[in-house]
């Protein structure tokens, strides 16, 4: 829930409850004023394999290492990162092909902030961890344990054979995380996957989430308010809360929105899995780039090798935070792809991706921070570019955008293509696990977080966040007008999270747009109604389709309101679209989180949500 300051009562009402007991019965307040811990030096001196080119914040483990040695390293990193929400340290924990841990000596990995855990095999079955890879609740006080702020971490490309631990913790592998915490290419055997941590004190709330290309047994949704699962295989799904969406998932529950609130698509219209780092038997690193699939369902790897292309590491410039944007651009101009090692990069001029099929891959939540109002990353109007696992932070001077694909109407942006090519529906430029922040670690300002001007683009898991807590937060401090603006045609979004922007959070101007799963919170901090209205309309919608658009489709969208500065504020609607046969929206809802009022779900349709029914959605199954 992007760190909502309200913890909703009765969230699990009517759902499959937690094994630890019934849902909490009272609204509890979460403190969001604590200052982030000061940055600490990188954890070094523990298990490390032979030389690799990725820097000291990447730890590459070998199955021949003693389990205790690996355990010491992952424990030290977890101890540093588990509460370091806004810190500057970044880590990647990479496992060579092989088996780690045993039933007698399991490997237990707790994943904190800004930490990536990934296998280096060609298949998730090439790396097996006998043990756990867990995310637990944070207990802000003894009786306020939640996962609502568990952001910015990832798990990918390995098998977890669930074993070890005792008592409640032995019952599942726990991934109690919220936004910006993807699980990709994960194979879970030997136990359940729980997306809720039911082993601590309450209220145990969570606000995720994203899973793709994974295989699990039983999945415990528990308190997860909303969740999106794409192109995977699951044993079963325990329950829904507000908005659970499944696209191309074998074993998914049947379509039943709103009771329970399951939205189920047999297949995903278009998909492309995130590129990932691999290590072969000769000790050579490569980046594998999966192929595009249409009408996809199930994993890419269960029935044979994943289709795609493998690029040797020599095709990449391996950047460090010491590199300037000028240095990076010179390497891109020479035809290199880009691998960003963990850290925070100050970007004072745009990193310009101009060549078709370029891959930009971040490790360990690599972060680009705008300096002096720069647009940190731009992409020319070319096909096949993959931007993956990159976080972009606004800086103290306003940026017109934090990422721009294609040229803006005023000519700014992606630069001239050097390939003579333009967008290609069979080879879309794709963003995977790209996250934006305005405020949080520090003061940030950006007019728009993501601007898409190119046609035929795929957005596969985006979180655009104007911070509601942390450092540099306030209506006139961390300013952000719009989260995502889509001007291109034939753009598809699979997993779109956009929160707290000051005008329309999401604007769709292009034709033939498609969104599978949308989650939104309107801004908490508007000072009064006069500051948050336009053209005689109270507030701004979370999802806006331009009046001129003739074709658009959305499946599974929620917009939430929580005006905690002035609870008398109203927003007229969560979704605003033209009424025309080609614009179709399915499975919509609005929710009140404890302050303010949302008068309608979409246009003038749908019952209001107010403080009279906190946490009770207003549903519109289809529109028009």
For 48-94, what is each residue's pLDDT tens digit? 454 799 999 999 999 999 999 999 999 999 999 999 999 999 999 99
d(CA 96, CA 103) in angstroms, rounded, equals: 20
- Mean pLDDT score across all residues of the chain: 92
d(CA 442, CA 87) in angstroms, rounded, equals: 10
For 392, list phi and psi in degrees, rounded to 5. Answer: -125, 125
Closest CA to 517 of 224, 175, 118: 224
The token pair that represents 483 in the structure block: 């989260």
d(CA 498, CA 503) in angstroms, rounded, equals: 12
d(CA 418, CA 333) in angstroms, rounded, equals: 9
- Max Cα distance, the chain (Å): 67
Taken in order of first residue, the domains within the chain and their CATH numbers are 6-31+46-264 (no CATH), 318-623 (2.160.20.10)
d(CA 30, CA 3) in angstroms, rounded, equals: 9
Which pLDDT belongs to residue 537?
98
Residue 47 pLDDT > 70, yes or no? no
For 599, list phi and psi in degrees, rounded to 5. Answer: -75, -35
**What is the percentage of the chain residues whose pLDDT exceeds 70?**
90
d(CA 386, CA 357) in angstroms, rounded, equals: 7
Enumerate the β-bridge partners of residue 496. Answer: 462, 518
Mean pLDDT value across residues 418-431: 81
- Find where tokens 């630890």 sit: 20
Which pLDDT belongs to residue 12?
37
Global confidence as pTM? 0.93
Report the catalytic residues: 521
The token pair that represents 117 in the structure block: 């855990």
Which pLDDT belongs to residue 423?
87
For 355-375, what is each residue's pLDDT tens digit? 999 999 999 999 999 999 999
- Find where tokens 């937060």 sit: 473
For 288, list phi and psi in degrees, rounded to 5. Answer: -95, 130
Residue 380 pLDDT > 60, yes or no? yes
Question: Cα dihedral angle (561, 564, 565, 568), rounded to 10 degrees?
Answer: 70
Residue 533 pLDDT > 90, yes or no? yes
Confidence of residue 271 (pLDDT cuts 50, 70, 90): very high
């Amino acid at each position: 829930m992007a760190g909502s300051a309200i913890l909703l009562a009765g969230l699990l009402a009517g759902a499959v409850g937690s094994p630890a007991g019934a849902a909490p019965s009272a609204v509890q307040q979460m403190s969001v004023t604590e200052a982030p811990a000061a940055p600490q030096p990188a954890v070094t001196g523990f298990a490390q394999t032979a030389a690799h080119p990725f820097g000291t914040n990447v730890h590459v483990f070998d199955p021949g290492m003693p389990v205790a040695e690996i355990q010491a390293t992952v424990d030290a990193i977890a101890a540093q990162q588990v509460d370091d929400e806004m810190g500057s340290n970044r880590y990647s924990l990479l496992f060579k092909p092989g088996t780690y841990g045993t039933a007698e000596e399991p490997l237990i990995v707790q994943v904190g902030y800004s930490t990536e855990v990934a296998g280096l095999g060609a298949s998730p079955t090439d790396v097996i961890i006998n043990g756990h890879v867990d995310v637990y609740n944070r207990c802000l006080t003894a009786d306020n344990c939640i996962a609502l702020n568990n952001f910015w971490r990832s798990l990918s490309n390995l098998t977890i054979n669930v074993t070890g631990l005792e008592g409640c913790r032995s019952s599942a592998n726990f991934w109690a995380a919220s936004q910006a915490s993807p699980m990709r290419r994960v194979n879970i055997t030997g136990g359940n996957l729980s997306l809720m941590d039911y082993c601590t004190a309450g209220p145990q709330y969570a606000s995720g989430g994203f899973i793709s290309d994974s295989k699990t047994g039983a999945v415990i949704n528990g308190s997860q308010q909303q969740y999106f699962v794409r192109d995977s295989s699951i044993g079963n799904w325990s329950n829904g809360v507000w908005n659970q969406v499944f696209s191309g998932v074998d074993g998914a529950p049947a379509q039943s929105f709103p009771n329970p609130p399951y939205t189920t698509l047999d297949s995903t219209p278009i998909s492309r899995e995130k590129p990932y780092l691999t290590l072969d038997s000769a000790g050579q690193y490569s980046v594998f780039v999966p192929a595009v699939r249409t009408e996809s369902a199930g994993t890419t790897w269960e029935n044979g090798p994943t289709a795609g292309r493998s690029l040797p590491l020599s095709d990449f410039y391996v950047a460090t935070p010491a590199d300037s944007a000028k240095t990076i651009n010179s390497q891109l101009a020479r035809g290199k792809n880009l691998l960003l090692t963990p850290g925070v990069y100050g970007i004072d001029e745009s990193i310009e991706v101009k060549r078709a099929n370029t891959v930009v891959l971040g490790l360990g939540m690599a972060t680009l921070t705008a300096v002096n109002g720069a647009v940190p990353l731009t992409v020319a109007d070319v096909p096949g570019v993959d931007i993956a696992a990159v976080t972009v932070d606004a800086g103290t001077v306003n940026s017109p955008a934090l990422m721009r694909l294609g040229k803006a109407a005023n000519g700014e942006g992606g630069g001239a293509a050097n390939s003579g090519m333009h967008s290609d529906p069979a080879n879309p430029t794709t963003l995977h696990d790209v996250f934006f922040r305005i405020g949080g670690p520090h003061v940030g300002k950006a007019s728009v977080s993501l601007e898409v001007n190119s046609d035929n683009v795929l957005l596969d898991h985006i979180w655009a966040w104007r911070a509601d807590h942390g450092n540099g937060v306030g209506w006139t401090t961390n300013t952000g007008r719009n989260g995502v603006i889509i001007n291109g045609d034939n753009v598809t979004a699979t997993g779109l999270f956009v929160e707290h922007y000051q005008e329309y959070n999401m604007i769709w101007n292009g034709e033939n747009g498609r969104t599978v799963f949308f989650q939104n919170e309107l801004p908490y901090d508007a000072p009064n109604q006069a500051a948050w209205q336009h053209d005689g309309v109270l507030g701004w919608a979370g999802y806006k389709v331009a009046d001129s658009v003739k074709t658009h489709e959305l499946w599974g969208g929620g917009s939430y309101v929580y005006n905690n500065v002035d609870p008398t504020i109203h927003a007229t609607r969560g979704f605003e679209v033209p009424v025309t046969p080609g614009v179709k929206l399915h499975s919509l809802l609005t929710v009140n989180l404890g302050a303010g009022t949302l008068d309608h779900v979409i246009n003038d349709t749908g019952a209001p949500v107010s403080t009279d029914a906190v946490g009770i959605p207003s549903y519109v199954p289809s529109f028009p």
